[in-house]
Structure formats: C-alpha cells, structure tokens
Amino acid sequence: MKTLQLHVDQLEYEPIRREGSVYEEIEPKSQSFRDVVVLFASVEEKDDEEIVDAMLSEVASSMKRLGADTLVIYPYAHLSNNLAPPIKAIHLVKYMEQRARELGIKVHKAPFGWNKRFSIVVKGHPLAEQFRALSQETLLQRQARPTQQTAAPSVEEKETLHVQMGRELDLFTINPVLGSGMPLFHPRGRIIRDELMNLIREVNLSLGFEEVWTPHVFKSDVWYQTGHYEHYRERMFIFTAKGEEYVVKPMNCPGHAMIYASRTRSYKDLPVMLSEFGTVYRNEQPGELTGLFRVRSITQDDGHAFVRPDQVEDVISRILRAVMYVLELTVRGKIYATLSTRPESFIGDPERWDEATQALKNALASLDMTYEVKEGEGAFYGPKIDVDIEDSHGRRWQCSTVQLDFFMPEKLDLKYVERDGSTQRPIMIHRAILGSIERFMGILLEHYNWRLPLWLSPSQVVVLPVSEKNRDYAANISDRMLSTGIRAELWTEGTLERRIRAAHQLRASLMAIVGDEEEGSSTITLRDYRGRLVKKLGLDVAMGWILNLIKRRALNLGEIDEDLIAMAKK
C-alpha cells in the first residue's frame, strides 16, 4: 500500500463520473473540508487487512503529533503501478475507514471508483506532506529485527502478532478474496487445531460426552422455533434455494436437541451428553474482525448435556474440573470464574432458577474455585458460569462457558419419562471449554510468542543429513520417528547451516543432525533451538524422551533437559 498524507487547510472534491465497473453507489455531490489530514491511498496487489492496520497505526500516531482529529481517506490509483483488483481495493478501503473509526479518528471517505475533480491547499509546515509505502516485505523486515525488550508493542501490533505468526510459520492466512474473517488453515496450522481437538476429545470421553456430527445448514423453521430468527437474525447467513429458506447455522444446539428428541428418553438415560466440533458461521461486522480472535467461521468445541434437575451440580462440577485441567495444560495462567444469575426478565419457574443457581455455586465450591457473582447478568433462559484465563501478556480471555438453559427444551419440546411415568423437561447445558478453536489458537500463539510447546509444534523434529552420503540413514531416522507418531521432517536441500537457520525460522522444536560419525555409531546428534547439543544419542532414547514429552503435553518448547542428558549418559 502506498499513501500520500497531506495536512491541509482545505480540500474540495466533486465526483464527476464512474471510472469502471467497480464503484460505490453514491449521490455525486461536492464535499469540502477544512483543516484535515487527507490520505491519498493506492491499494496494491498483495495488501491485506494487516497492511491497512499497520498503515493506520502510523497515520494515527502522525495525526496525534499534528494535533489533527479528522482524516479524509481518498482512494487514489496513481501512487502505484501494481494495483490490487478493484474488488479487493474497495474492500480494503472500506476496512480502513472502519478501523480508523475504531481508533477514535473522525473519518470521511471519498467514494471509490469515481473520477473526481479536486482542489487542495496544503499547509506549509515540514510535516505536512508524508509519503509511506508498506508491504508484507516491509512488515516482515520489521519483524525480523531483534525485538527490543524495553519498548512494549502497541495495541495494534499486539492484535496482529498471531496473524504475522500465522503467515510466517505457514499456519493460516485470511484472504479477503474468499472472505474476511474466514481463516484458511494450512497443513501446519491444521496440525495445531487437531492437537487441540484431540485434547478435547480425550476430555469429552472422560466426561461421557459422545461425539456427533450435524450439517452446516438447517432450514429456517427451527431458527424460528428457537427464537434466533427473531433475535439473532442480523448475524445469520440466510439464503433461499428452490423456494425454501435456510440458515447457515450460527450455533449447533438445535441439531443436538433433535438428536436427543429422536427417541423416547427415560430418567435412567439421563444425562445424555453430545459433543461436536461444530463450525458455525456468524456474520460479524467487518470492523470487528481481528485475526483469529474474531472470525466469521467459528469452530466450537461444543457440547450439550441434557440433564435432570438433580444432576445439574454433578455434571457442572465435572465439566468445570475438565475446564481447569484443559486451561492448566494449555495456557497455565491465572483463572477467573464468574457466575451470572437471574436477570429481571426471565422465563421459567423462579424456584427452579434458585435451585439451579445453588447447584452452580455448589459445583464451584466443590472445586475450591473463587468466583465473582454477576447479579442479574445471566441470560433470560438460565444462569451461567464463564471461565477466563490470563495469558502471558496479562490479558484476560473468556474461553469456557457453561450455560444452563430452561428455554430451548421448552421451545423444541424435549422430554423424558420420570420414574413415576410423568413427562418432564430436561435442563439443557450448553458448554464449551476452549470456546472457539480459532480464537483459542490465536490466544495460544500470542501467549507462547512464536514458539509452541513440543506437543503443539507442527515440526517436532527436523532431520538434517550433514551430506548427501548420509541421506539414506537420515531418511531411515525420519521414518522411524514418523512411525511412532513424532512429526519428523527430512530436509536435504541446501547447506547444513542454511537448513538449521530455516528450521529456526519455522520454529521447529528440535533438530536431529546425522553425519558420518552418527551413521557409523547408529546414533543422532540432537540440537535444540538454543543450540544445545547431545551427541551420539541412541535413537530409541531420543524417541522415548520426545514421546514422553508429547504424551504428557509437557511445557517444553524444544529444550534439551537434564532428563535427556541423564538418559544419554546411561
């Protein structure tokens, strides 16, 4: 992106005619501004939201220095000969407008795709004219500079840190051509997703959740029944096909409720617990989208428990225990729980509310969890517990939710047969532990700041033959590691030094270096990311040590530790 920023006494423009097929629908009328900053902007081929963010953060700090509060964004194709296609340019220009507004800047945008007559009077001071060129390359170069420990990154930089990591570590990208807020997970990013999902699968199994799969699209009828059509419509992707209306599901609950309702349930069958890694779609405002933190395609580690009132406490306390276990394994930060209680307007029987709220309190107490009570802040359909985690930057993230629901069982007519033969409504518990897998991954990436623990690392061991002669031996090492489930990669191209550097750049956890000496003694040299070496290490010893770290999901970022050194000496 290239911009020319001018601090002006006066700007006037008048849209005359449309330039091409992509333009903004406007009423052409002339506009006039006094004492503003004008930003002529050319969007280039490889630009994305991140570039816009970086550009705006420079513009914002410059405006602060100038004491200016109003920005006129002026799409201007003549600063670059490498322009983005108009459809992308218009998207990014609009995005820029929204982000500027979010930064607290008064902003006006001149229409895109129009020939404009304009006149301008630029102020005479030295900072009145500033040209900027920003590209992914310049951002990368900045990233590559040694990070200063002293200067805290600005909020903008922090927000996009994981997006940079996503691109540089080849984990994920977000391509506005396909859709903002819809991250594409590359093979290496998919590995991290899977590791998180594997952890949750284990937890689900131990809790008694059974995994299901439900479609991504339901007919709109059910969303009328649940009230989403009325209350959540703004955020739903709705479409009509062959005369019938469908909704791309914004949540998984109705699907699970229907599975529950697919047969008669007796009090003895309860609790019925269903889980799903359900990808849901929510049409968040473009301005609200931030990397993986706020996306439109959200994969929840969703679960629904259908319980009798007397089971609430036990089920909740088991779920909360699992929440603590998972957050401890992944983030290891301070945990904050909140209990939101009955609001002014609510549905259902107040006595049942009180019982359920007490059950939640008992569950929290049984785990010795301290919590804050948010009196009256529960949803109208039931009380809930939220669990936040603090990351290494001291930021608090709400991840886990356990929400009681008296309403949906009513709306979808869910029942079970009680011991006395009467028909009762189950209570539905909605729960997510990680919340959104995408968001949780973003949190983890920033929390660990470039280097993930071994169990989450896409490249656990990079096997590097010293020369072409050692290639077969190295391939054998790599195959043996792969066969035990270690993510090993064989790298043979380029000098050893270069491959070591590349492995560092990809944040590979460990390197196994094999030359003639290693081949002759059927061993490897293990190198960690700090450059520490263990020479003549037996392959079985190395694999045993690595597999144990992976299995325990140890907090080891790829560091040779005393355990391994002791094992190597034996």
282 binds Zn ion (CB under 5 A): no
Among residues 5, 7, 253, 425, the one annotated as catalytic is 253
Cβ at position 304, least distance to Zn ion in Å: 6
CB 280, CB 252: distance < 8 Å: yes
In the bound state with Zn ion, the residue whose beta carbon lies nearer, of 10 and 297, is 297
Cβ at position 428, least distance to Zn ion in Å: 7
Considering only the stretches 9-17, 206-214, 246-254, 474-482, report the one whose residues sit in contact with Zn ion under the rule CB under 5 A: 246-254
Specify whether 253 is catalytic.
Answer: yes
334 to 363: interface string for Zn ion, x by CB under 5 A: ------------------------------
Considering only the stretches 33-41, 79-87, 245-253, 316-324, report the one whose residues sit in contact with Zn ion under the rule CB under 5 A: 245-253
Count residues binding Zn ion (CB under 5 A): 2
Cβ at position 277, least distance to Zn ion in Å: 13
Among residues 47, 48, 301, 302, the one annotated as catalytic is 302
In the bound state with Zn ion, the residue whose beta carbon lies nearer, of 6 and 253, is 253
Considering only the stretches 210-218, 394-402, 424-432, 449-457, report the one whose residues sit in contact with Zn ion under the rule CB under 5 A: 424-432
Among residues 5, 164, 300, 460, the one annotated as catalytic is 300
Cβ at position 360, least distance to Zn ion in Å: 17
In the bound state with Zn ion, the residue whose beta carbon lies nearer, of 255 and 465, is 255
Specify whether 282 is catalytic.
Answer: yes
Give me 157's structure tokens. 């930089």
Cβ at position 315, least distance to Zn ion in Å: 15
Q: Using CA of residue 330, residue 333, residue 334, residue 338, what is the dihedral sign? A: negative
253 binds Zn ion (CB under 5 A): yes
CB 41, CB 75: distance < 8 Å: yes
Rounded Cα gap, residues 437 and 431, in angstroms: 14
Other C-beta atoms closer than 10 Å to the C-beta of 86 total 18
Other C-beta atoms closer than 10 Å to the C-beta of 23 total 17
In the bound state with Zn ion, the residue whose beta carbon lies nearer, of 300 and 424, is 300
Residue from 296, 430, 499, 527 touching Zn ion (CB under 5 A): that is 430
DSSP 288: G
Give me 555's structure tokens. 């907090």
Residue 559's Cα: distance from chain center in Å? 27
In the bound state with Zn ion, the residue whose beta carbon lies nearer, of 318 and 430, is 430
Among the listed residues 455, 484, 433, 115, the one whose alpha carbon sits nearest the alpha carbon of residue 300: 433
Among residues 91, 249, 282, 342, the one annotated as catalytic is 282
Specify whether 231 is catalytic.
Answer: no
228 binds Zn ion (CB under 5 A): no
In the bound state with Zn ion, the residue whose beta carbon lies nearer, of 162 and 430, is 430
In the bound state with Zn ion, the residue whose beta carbon lies nearer, of 180 and 436, is 436
Exposed, middle or buried, 71 (CB in 10 Å: 0-12/13-18/19+)? buried
| CA torsion angle 219 225 227 228 (round to 10) | -20
* Half-sphere exposure for 320 (CA within 13 Å, toward CB): 31
Among the listed residues 318, 300, 270, 282, the one whose alpha carbon sits nearest the alpha carbon of residue 428: 270
Cβ at position 254, least distance to Zn ion in Å: 9
Rounded Cα gap, residues 363 and 347, in angstroms: 23
* H-type alpha helices, 210-252: 220-226, 228-231
Among residues 384, 425, 447, 527, the one annotated as catalytic is 384
Rounded Cα gap, residues 175 and 183, in angstroms: 7
Exposed, middle or buried, 554 (CB in 10 Å: 0-12/13-18/19+)? middle
Cβ at position 430, least distance to Zn ion in Å: 3
User: Catalytic residue numbers?
Assistant: 253, 282, 300, 302, 304, 384, 430
- Under the rule (CB under 5 A), what is the footprint of Zn ion? 253, 430
